[in-house]
Amino acid sequence: MNKNNRIKSLLLLVFTIIGFLFPVIRNDPYTLSLLLIIFVFIVAAVGFRLIYITGRLTIGQAAFMGVGAYTSALLSLNFGINPWLGLLIGGIAAGILALGIGYIVLRVGGVYFVIITLCLAEISKLFWLWWRPVTYGNSGLIDVPGFSIASFQFGINKIPYYYLSLIIMLVALFVMYRMERSRIGIALHALGQNDVLAEHLGINRTRYRVLAFTTASFFCGVVGSFYAHYIHFVHPDQFGVMPSIMIQIYGIAGGIGVFFGPIVGSFVVAGLTEFLKIAKEFQPLIYGPLLVIIMLFLPKGLIGLPQMFFKSSKK
C-alpha cells in the first residue's frame, strides 16, 4: 500500500469513527437530521460519479430515488410489506428499471444522453402525478410506515435513523469504491478516456456502462426508499429535475475526478444551503454561478483546495 492509499484509508477510518460517535458527542435532532439527509445525497452523488467516469453525464438520478421511494412506500401502505424488505425491493426496482433503460440510452453519447436523462427525471415526476389512483398525485403518499426492530419503533427518534443512513452510506461507498478499484473500474475509466480504443481492447462499451448505471441506480433506489420511510411522506417534487441537478452539483463541486470528491461536495454544498437558509426557488440562481466559478478556478473541485494551497506555499 503506497503513501496516498494509506492516507486515504486513515481518513476513511477517522470519518467512519466520527460518524458512529457523533450522536454520543452531539445528540441534537436537527443536526442528526441534516447529516442523515447528507448521507442520502452522498450515495446519489458518488453513484453519479460512477456513471460519469464511463464518459456519460446524467441528470436523472433522482428519478431512481423516486422509484425506490414509491415502490417501498406503496408496498408498505397497501400490502403491509416490512420497510426493511422495502429497502431492498426499492433498490432492485430502481436497478431493474436502470438495466432496461440503460441498454437503450447508454448507446447514445454526448449532449443527447444528457437530454435523455433530463427528460427521464421530468417524465418520472409526471408519471407519479398522472398515476393518481395509486400515488395520489400531487397530494403525495402520507403516513408511510417507519422502521422498527422487533417491538422497538424508531418513531421520531433521530438516532436510529441516523445510524441506519450511515450504515447504508458506508455499504454503498464500500461497494462502489471496490468496484472502481477492481478490473471493472479499470474498464470504466478506460471507457471514459477513449471508448473506441477501449472497445478495440475488448471492453464492451454498453455492458460496462449499463453495469455502472444499474449499480448507481440501485443504491439511489435504496436511499430513496430509506428517505420515504424516514419522513413518512412521498411527493413527486422530491424526485424531479432540480434534485437531480443538485446531485450533479454535489458531485462536480467536490471534485468529480476523485472518489471522495462528491462526499466533500455533499457536505459543503448541503451544509451551506442549510446554514444560509437558501430557499429552494433561489438555489439555482446561487449554485449555477458557484458551479461555474468552481469549474473555472478549481478544476479539481473543492477537494483540490489543499493541494492548491500547498503548491502556492512552496512557491
Q: What is the pLDDT of residue 43?
A: 97
pLDDT tens-digit map of 188-233: 999 999 988 898 888 999 999 999 999 999 999 999 999 999 999 9
**φ and ψ at 56, to 5 degrees?**
-125, 130
Task: Provide the pLDDT confidence category of residue 119 given band limits of 50, 70 and 90.
Answer: very high
Q: What is the CA radius of gyration of the chain?
A: 19
Q: What is the pLDDT of residues 71-118, one digit of tens each?
A: 999 999 999 999 999 999 999 999 999 999 999 998 887 788 889 999
pLDDT at 297: 72
Query: Which of 4-13, 142-151, 161-170 shows the lowest mean pLDDT across its residues?
Result: 4-13
Question: How would you class 306 by CB atoms within 10 Å of its CB: exposed for 0-12, middle for 13-18, buried for 19 or more?
Answer: exposed
**Cβ-count burial 229-250 (b if 16+ within 10 Å, e if not):** bbbebbbbebbbbbbbbbbbbb
- Predicted confidence band at 312 (pLDDT cuts at 50, 70, 90)? low
Beta strand 141-142 pairing with 233-234: antiparallel
Q: Is the pLDDT of residue 2 over 70?
A: no
The whole-number pLDDT of residue 279 equals 66
Overall average pLDDT of the 55-73 stretch: 95
Give the CB-side neighbour count of residue 241, counting CA atoms within 13 A.
11
What percent of the chain has pLDDT above 90? 61
What is the model's pLDDT at position 201? 87
